[in-house]
């Protein structure tokens, strides 16, 4: 009952007041010196102050934040672009939390984690969390710094992460600090290090370094993220982060090669240090007898595609048109093949008149791992030099995967990872031809299993992050601490 009342009050508040009015009023509850500019802000303050007195404010805040989108709207509802809205649109890179030196704090590696929720969490976050866990091996305290303003409830998140193998105790094993509300500064020691995990966290890493007096941070680069946007403000300020001073660790060899061959941010010409790792895939290769029996005995085969129309780089339009063409040209018979979409957002494809794809519900990692063993063919595209994780997950589970080439993500590179992967140039004819080849290859269950078994890609994080990566990280964490000590000696 209490939860329903809180949700109703939060919903009413979001309808009556704007985000900026609620934000200013909320902060005035704790800081009486804040001046409110409008009568609506003052009314919002009275409501929030009453909620605080009744012990409801924390729950109201959580309910309100849970209803906010992680990405702000393109235009404000009244078409008045105030500073708050503009900063939100630019991921608040010019409105970062304050940073203070605290001599009582231990040396810490601060892993800067952006907003996320478990309804849409993707493989990129698995890489962030596993890297944070791996950093403990340096012998330095590791802290997850949640710097975005989003719904974060630690007990609730501890429960939800139990469904993500290998990360079940991350919120117990690492220090966790949520500073998204900007009410308190981030307190750091003089010997801290920062790890940027997404382009806009690089701005915060740079700010931490300025406060400490260090030159470089560690940049976990999991894609060329300027490509996430068209030619706009976000593209420009994302691309600019690669010109900062950092030690780079890339999540795939093809991505690293893209940066080096194109000298992105001057990574080659500035002689910057870098290495790469491959994210562990989430595969489920059944015992051979079960794999063969299940696939021979099922009534219909299954082609799965990555249905993510809300994310442009996943090339949904080309994916959908290729599937429709393959069914209309007779490559796939709907009496023999089910077509299933999985991903973020429900994108249903009309394959033939009266025949449509079906959508799988959004899955946690445990459920996803169980599901990947059921597919025969996968079509997954991405306009990125990163190979992405879906091809690896499914190829290692015995599925034949069609994916696209892109820059340094070449045909030879993809085929070197698994013979279950069929690379295709990102054009309609090439992808349809690859689907026809995939249908033929999917009939050979023995070969599918053999190629899955011999895939040259890590299946767990012990294979993914090794002593080579630990030495790279230790070297630079120590170098950054030594750099700080050297600076102190010079000024002494």
Query: What confidence score (pLDDT) does residue 372 get?
Result: 87
Let me know: does 235 contact 260? Beta carbons within 8 Å: no
Q: Is 76 left (phi over 0), alpha (psi -120 to 50) or beta?
A: beta
Arithmetic mean of pLDDT, 98-104: 97
Arithmetic mean of pLDDT, 81-92: 88
Bigger pLDDT: 195 vs 51: 195
On the 0-12 / 13-18 / 19+ scale of CB atoms within 10 A, 472 is: middle
Does residue 480 surpass a pLDDT of 70? Answer: no
What are the residue ranges of CATH 3.40.50.11090 in the chain? Answer: 99-276
Beta-carbon count within 10 A of 292 CB: 16
What are the residue ranges of CATH 3.40.50.2000 in the chain? Answer: 288-453
Architecture of domain 99-276: 3-Layer(aba) Sandwich (3.40)
Architecture of domain 288-453: 3-Layer(aba) Sandwich (3.40)
Per the prediction, the chain carries an average pLDDT of 90
- Distance (Å, rounded) from C-alpha 50 to C-alpha 146? 29
Give the least confident one: 67-76, 157-166, 195-204, 333-342.
Answer: 67-76
Query: What confidence score (pLDDT) does residue 88 get?
Result: 87
pLDDT tens readout for residues 310-326: 888 999 999 999 999 99
- Distance (Å, rounded) from C-alpha 143 to C-alpha 136? 10
Query: What confidence score (pLDDT) does residue 484 get?
Result: 58
- pTM value? 0.84
Q: Is 451 left (phi over 0), alpha (psi -120 to 50) or beta?
A: alpha
For residue 421, the surrounding DSSP H or E stretch is strand 421-424
Bigger pLDDT: 63 vs 278: 278
- Distance (Å, rounded) from C-alpha 195 to C-alpha 198? 9
Arithmetic mean of pLDDT, 293-321: 93
Arithmetic mean of pLDDT, 36-42: 74
pLDDT tens readout for residues 209-221: 999 999 999 999 9
- % of residues, the chain, pLDDT over 70: 91
Query: Reduced to 3 states, what is the DSSP secondary structure of residue 241?
Result: helix
Let me know: does 265 contact 259? Beta carbons within 8 Å: yes
Arithmetic mean of pLDDT, 378-397: 96
Does residue 345 surpass a pLDDT of 90? Answer: no
Give the least confident one: 3-7, 165-169, 235-239, 339-343.
Answer: 3-7
> In the beta sheet, which residues pair with residue 424?
404
Give the least confident one: 247-261, 432-446, 466-480.
Answer: 466-480
Does residue 12 surpass a pLDDT of 70? Answer: yes
pLDDT tens readout for residues 268-280: 999 999 999 999 9
- Distance (Å, rounded) from C-alpha 151 to C-alpha 317? 32
């Amino acid at each position: 009952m209490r939860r329903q009342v809180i949700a109703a009050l939060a919903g009413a508040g979001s309808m009556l007041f704007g985000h900026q009015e609620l934000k200013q009023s909320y902060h005035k509850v704790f800081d009486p010196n804040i001046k409110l500019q409008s009568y609506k802000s003052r009314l919002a303050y009275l409501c929030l102050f009453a909620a605080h007195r009744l012990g409801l404010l924390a729950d109201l805040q959580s309910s309100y934040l849970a209803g906010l989108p992680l990405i702000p709207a393109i235009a404000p509802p009244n078409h008045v672009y105030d500073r708050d809205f503009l900063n939100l649109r630019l991921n608040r890179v010019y409105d970062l939390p304050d940073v203070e030196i605290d001599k009582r704090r231990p040396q810490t590696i601060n892993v800067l984690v952006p907003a996320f929720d478990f309804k849409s969490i993707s493989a990129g976050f698995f890489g962030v969390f596993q890297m944070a866990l791996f950093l403990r091996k340096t012998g330095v305290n590791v802290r997850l710094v949640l710097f975005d303003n989003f719904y974060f409830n630690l007990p609730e998140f501890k429960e939800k992460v139990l469904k993500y193998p290998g990360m079940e105790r991350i919120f117990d094993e690492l220090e966790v600090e949520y500073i998204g509300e900007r009410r308190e500064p981030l307190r750091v020691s003089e010997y801290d290090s920062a790890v940027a995990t997404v382009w806009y966290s690089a701005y915060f890493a740079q700010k931490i370094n300025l406060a400490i007096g260090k030159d470089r941070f560690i940049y976990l680069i999991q894609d060329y993220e300027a490509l996430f946007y068209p030619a706009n403000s976000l593209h420009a300020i994302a691309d600019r982060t690669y010109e900062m001073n950092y030690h780079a660790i890339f999540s795939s060899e093809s991505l690293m090669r893209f940066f080096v061959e194109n000298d992105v941010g001057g990574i080659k010409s500035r002689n910057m240090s870098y290495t790469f790792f491959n994210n562990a895939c989430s595969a489920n290769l059944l015992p051979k007898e079960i794999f063969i029996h299940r696939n021979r005995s099922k009534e219909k085969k299954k082609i799965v595609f990555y249905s993510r129309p809300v994310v442009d780089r996943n090339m949904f339009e080309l994916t959908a048109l290729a599937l429709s063409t393959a069914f209309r040209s007779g490559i796939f018979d709907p009496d023999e093949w089910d077509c299933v979409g999985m991903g973020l957002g429900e994108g249903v494809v009309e394959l033939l008149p009266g025949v449509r794809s079906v959508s799988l519900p959004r899955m946690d990692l445990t459920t996803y791992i169980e599901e990947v063993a059921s597919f025969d063919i996968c079509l997954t595209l991405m306009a990125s030099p990163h190979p992405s994780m879906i091809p690896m997950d499914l190829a290692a589970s015995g599925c034949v995967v069609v994916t696209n080439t892109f820059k340094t993500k070449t045909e030879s590179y993809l085929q070197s990872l698994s013979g279950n992967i069929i690379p295709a140039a990102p054009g309609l004819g090439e992808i349809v031809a690859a689907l026809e080849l995939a249908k033929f290859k999917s009939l050979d269950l023995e070969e599918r299993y053999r190629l899955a078994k011999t895939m040259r890609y890590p299946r767990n994080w012990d294979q993914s992050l090794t002593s080579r990566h630990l030495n790279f990280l230790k070297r630079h964490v120590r170098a950054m601490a030594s750099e700080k000590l050297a600076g102190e000696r010079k000024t002494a």
